[in-house]
Amino acid sequence: MATDPEPNLIISRYTDVNNEPVKKLLIPIKGYQDEPLLPLKIAVEPISHLFIDLEDYVLIALHNSQKPNDGLTVDESATIHLYTMQFQSGVSLYVILNHILRSEQRQDIKPWFPFLKLLMTALYKLPSLPATTIWRGVRDLDLQKKYETGARFAWWGVSSCTTTIDVLTSPRFLGKTGVRTMFAIHCVNGKSIVNHSYYSATEKEIILMPGSFFEVIGQIDAGSNLHIVELKEIDPPMELVKPPFQNATKSPSVSHDGAAGITTIPVSSYHSKPPRKSYASSIGHKKSANIFNEQPLFLTPTTAHISSYQAKPPSIDDPSSQTPFAQSTLLSSAQQCKLNEFYGKLNQQWELIFRGTRNGFHSEEFHRCCDNKGPTVTVIQSEDGYLFGGYTTVPWKTPEDSLFGAPKEDSTAYLFTLTNPHHIPATKFKIRNDQIAQAVLHRDDHGPCFGSGDICMRSNSNVNSESHSRFPQTYVDTTDIGKTLFTGSRYFATAEIETFRLM
């Protein structure tokens, strides 16, 4: 008679974060990308001896993936489906895969190369979500000391997260009592697998791919033994996991037919199948595959240990490895370098003088922090996560005339977009030669305003949608999109504003 999985073998995808080896950077994962793209049935052959009835789970995944979304093939969608399954007998596939991805012994991952090629191909083909905050957590552990503010590290496993904090705080998962650590992750490369997961009806799962790199930007003790660690996804110091195909990006604009090309290679020519042996040999062999109909329980293994990892300082000779806006919670390393490229000096350093979520979004707070501070760059994040802003050499001031404000001349001022709903790449917009006198507008009842309404930030912009863009009035639009360029709408609310002064 088959037995149920032992509790310590059921490790939730969402809560196994304490197994990540964050104390040091592991050797990058590469080699799998050179494998041919095989059908799922063949791709799992080298690893099938690790599981009980893996072939049956593969058939279920393929059956449930006959009409895949997002431009994936049947095999690619089924690979994600299989990854999310909670096996009835023995350990589930995602447990061993993530264990192998986190292992220092990189040679152990080679039998997984065909499966990893399918999985990574599928994830790369999925569109990345707009910049957003996602959540994951762990029960019975306080990990604040392991994730110190400023630490940089990689998560090597396939990181499962959710977009809503309510999922994690439900009794089925972390609950609302006892010691818990929750991670608030500001990500730019999250992949929604809701269209491909076995638990699509109950889990709104977001995947962060292996080798995702983060910086700890803050911590908070939220009371009731709940500890929150705030992370920001940043560019890694090197390519940690090779992409699955040439010219791949984490959000590729590729379209593949559902039956598109999979090269079939006979199993006999690939790997000889080792003797069948269960990964958890103490668990009885069940002849027919069975899957939990409920969501997997969020249980925490007791043997895990996590230490903080402080990233190796970047080379001072390489401007692209620097963090010129080091205090920013919004900007990736690449975006920081892009802003310095717009400015015209790659090694320029900037000091944060205002942050809306820290100082308050009222116009008085902006002027208290920013007036008379010299040249500044302001970065705005809309409530939908889009990043844009402007630069001026004119110091901000609080004018006496609050009705119409005081326009200021600046021939070097410019606007920029970093991310936007139109998928326009990061772009700088120079001021029109006949509008130099209107470069910025100083008003005591407004935050930063550029041009004649090109970007106009109202007081308390985080709780109203009165801020607006009439772009292009004063600055040159090289995209021909106009006033909806920055956020997709003329009027918008903000999630964050950061202003930096020249150092």
**Residues 323-370: tens digit of each pLDDT:** 899 899 999 888 999 999 999 998 899 999 999 999 999 999 999 999
pLDDT at 172: 61
Taking only the tens place, the pLDDT of each residue in 460-493 is 999 999 999 999 999 999 988 999 999 999 999 9
Q: What is the mean pLDDT of residues 75-100?
A: 91
Q: How confident is the model at residue 19 (pLDDT cuts 50, 70, 90)?
A: confident
Q: Taking the CB of residue 347, how many other CB atoms lie within 10 A of it?
A: 9
Which residues 6+ apart lie within 8 Å of 194 measured at CB?
200, 203, 204, 205
Q: How confident is the model at residue 1 (pLDDT cuts 50, 70, 90)?
A: very low
pLDDT at 225: 86
Per-residue pLDDT at 200 exceeds 80: no
Which residues 6+ apart lie within 8 Å of 13 measured at CB?
84, 94, 98, 158, 160, 205, 296
Look over the chain and give the mean of its residue pLDDT values, rounded to a whole number. 81
pLDDT at 401: 59
- E strand residue ranges, 350-488: 350-355, 376-382, 387-392, 406-408, 414-417, 427-430, 440-442, 446-450, 455-458, 467-468
User: Which is more confident, 18 or 465?
Assistant: 465
Give the global pTM: 0.51
Question: Are 190 and 347 within 8 A, CB to CB?
Answer: no
Give the whole-number percent of the chain exceeding pLDDT 90: 59
CATH 3.90.176.10 residue ranges in the chain?
7-269
User: Which is more confident, 178 or 377?
Assistant: 377
Q: How confident is the model at residue 109 (pLDDT cuts 50, 70, 90)?
A: very high
What's the 3-state SS for 252-285?
CCCCCCCCCCCCCCCHHHCCCCCCCCCCCCCCCC
The tokens for 178 are: 């006892």
Q: What is the mean pLDDT of residues 367-391?
A: 96
Per-residue pLDDT at 32 exceeds 80: yes
Rounded to 5 degrees, φ, ψ at 136 are -150, 165
pLDDT at 260: 35
Buried b or exposed e, range 222-261, using 16+ CB within 10 angstroms:
eeeebbbbbbbbbbbbeebbbbbeeebebebeeeeebeee
- E strand residue ranges, 256-368: 350-355
Per-residue pLDDT at 180 exceeds 70: yes
User: Which is more confident, 83 or 3?
Assistant: 83
Taking only the tens place, the pLDDT of each residue in 398-415 is 987 555 678 999 999 999
- E strand residue ranges, 224-343: 226-234
Residue from 387, 502, 392, 499 nearest 447 by CA: 499
Taking only the tens place, the pLDDT of each residue in 210-221 is 999 999 999 988
Question: Are 194 and 205 within 8 A, CB to CB?
Answer: yes
Q: Taking the CB of residue 327, how many other CB atoms lie within 10 A of it?
A: 14
pLDDT at 404: 64
Under CATH, which number does the domain 7-269 receive? 3.90.176.10
The tokens for 310 are: 């402080």
pLDDT at 247: 63
Taking only the tens place, the pLDDT of each residue in 124-151 is 999 998 888 998 988 888 888 889 999 9
